Amino acid sequence: MQILGTVEELRQWSRAHRCDRANGAGMALVPTMGALHAGHASLIRAASEARPGRVAVSIFVNPTQFGPNEDFARYPRTFSADCALAEREGASVIFAPSVEEMYPAGAATVVDVEALSDRLDGASRPGHFRGVATVVAKLLIAAEPDLAFFGQKDAAQVAVLRRMVVDLRLDTKIVVCPIVREPDGLALSSRNVYLNAAERKQALVLSRAIDCVQKLVASGERRSVTLIEAARTVFAEQPAVRVDYIELVDWATLWPVLSATQGTLFAVAAWVGATRLIDNTVIG
Ligand code: PAF
């Protein structure tokens, strides 16, 4: 498996491998920040099933999507293990650029998906989605994949990127893979490594809240206030965990809805100690 460090190398590799895209060849891109876990493995596997031998995995801890007091410096970096996992799951190439490569001196261009950028995680992490959209736009422009794979766990990010791809007329389909969970329900996240043993237990309140809402919906409840209140009651059982948001939104616009319908997104974010975790379910 090759490791590429420059945008030009990625561009050349992609051009050589996505031969005859018009006839359905194409290539797949799996953008990541490394610290790969079974959730990422599922994305790479899905990508390599769709585009065998033509899968690029990017590993880049993108500084512009971290706020000044966030965990950029201590974000887990596990490059060798990441390469081994990616290769096992069928990646053909790793793209691991430097910060200077992605943001050349004097870089002044950003991609801001207005109206979505300050919703959900964007409300408590100002600038986060601008950083995500900017770096993913750079990756998509360089690699021109016909498929790009993302996890449903970052559901608001998915909404932002879907909007961006439509608005910029990029010729890439965003493929969303299901959330992968630990056996006890905790959604996999690179940030789970920050949790100590007590916090690891407390963190289960997020998936319990999701579970509770799924059961209510299955029993016929659709009202937003009732679903949100039920989730709030679950969170109240674990006072050590501080809720950031509990929202029922249209997955395309991220705006609140009064009742759940097919495809509505129910999403939560909460602080477990110093670690902010997110989880969600898509209704139906
Ligand atoms: O989901 C992530 O890991 C990141 O936000 C992404 C999409 C790789 C952009 O840095």
CATH number of domain containing 73: 3.40.50.620
Distance CA 61, CA 97 (A): 9
Q: Are residues 205 and 71 both part of a single domain?
A: no
Does some domain include residue 183? Answer: no
CB 211 within 8 A of CB 233: no
Ligand 1 neighbourhood includes 29 CB (under 6 angstroms): no
Ligand 1 neighbourhood includes 132 CB (under 6 angstroms): yes
Number of domains comprising the chain: 2
The pLDDT confidence band at residue 18, using thresholds 50, 70 and 90, is: confident
Q: Are residues 141 and 204 both part of a single domain?
A: no
Distance CA 168, CA 191 (A): 31
Burial-class residue 282 by CB neighbours within 10 Å (0-12, 13-18, 19+).
middle
Distance CA 257, CA 128 (A): 23
Q: What is the pLDDT of residues 176-219, one digit of tens each?
A: 999 999 999 999 999 999 999 999 999 999 999 999 999 999 99
Predicted local distance difference test score (pLDDT) of residue 259: 98
- Single-letter amino acid code for the residue at 90: G
What's the domain range around 221? 190-278
Element (DSSP H or E) covering residue 214? helix 204-218
Q: What is the pLDDT of residues 129-168, one digit of tens each?
A: 999 999 999 999 999 999 999 999 999 999 999 999 999 9
Distance CA 241, CA 213 (A): 18
Q: Is residue 23 pLDDT above 70, yes or no?
A: no
Q: Are residues 215 and 88 both part of a single domain?
A: no
Distance CA 51, CA 123 (A): 36
Give distance in angstroms: CA of 39 to centre of ligand 1.
13
> Which atom from ligand 1 is nearest to the alpha carbon of 61?
10
Distance CA 188, CA 263 (A): 22
Ligand 1 neighbourhood includes 57 CB (under 6 angstroms): no
Predicted local distance difference test score (pLDDT) of residue 19: 73
Q: Are residues 153 and 58 both part of a single domain?
A: yes
Does some domain include residue 107? Answer: yes
CATH number at residue 259: 3.30.1300.10
Phi, psi of 172 (to 5 degrees): -130, 135
CB 122 within 8 A of CB 129: yes
Give distance in angstroms: CA of 176 to centre of ligand 1.
13
Q: Which of 6, 53, 1 minimizes the C-alpha distance to 26?
A: 53
Q: Are residues 172 and 271 both part of a single domain?
A: no
